[in-house]
Amino acid sequence: MNADRNAAVNFSELVNKNKQTLARLKVTPRLVLHRRDGEDLVLTTAARAEQDQTVVSAATRMLAAIARREPGSTELLLDLLPDAFPWVRFLPEPDVHAFAVELVSTMRAAESIANSASVAQLLTAWQHTAEVHSDPELLAALTTDHGADYGPVPDPRDFG
């Protein structure tokens, strides 16, 4: 039986028909629970979550081991990055190297605490940097010295 990788239900279905809804986890690895009053949730089994963490941990350890090998490991990693992240082609060469180093070190640190949020944030930030470099007008607008000081930047937490 093929697993439905995109199984989704409304949260109320879990509440009202919990046995039938939970039974779906036998044929799908994850169940997205749509909520009206908040962010969607993902329901999975503890065994599946542990398997996912094992895979991420193994991939991280392998990448870190490759990055530490001499000679040519850095060049190999730099050669592989455009296949994994096509947007790195827009980054200046020194930034590609900085991204590679930061990615490996952040993945190792995140794996050590079993929380990948920092890796996702790092990838998003570097992808946005590549987007800026891909647009000459935007790059010029963001890197031109306008000669004006607009004062201190307010803390974004004050707006939330």
Q: Is the pLDDT of residue 51 over 80?
A: yes
Query: What is the pLDDT, as a whole number, of residue 5?
Result: 65
What CA–CA distances, in Å, run from 33 to 12, 22, 30, 95, 98? 9, 11, 10, 39, 38
Please provide the average confidence, as pLDDT, over all residues in the chain. Answer: 88
pLDDT tens, 103-116?
Answer: 999 998 998 898 88
pLDDT tens, 114-158?
Answer: 888 999 999 999 999 999 999 999 999 888 887 888 888 888 888
* 40 three-class SS: coil
Q: What is the pTM of this model?
A: 0.72
Q: Is the pLDDT of residue 48 over 80?
A: yes
Token readout for 20 is 């039938």
Average pLDDT over residues 56-85: 85
Q: Which amino acid is at 59?
A: A
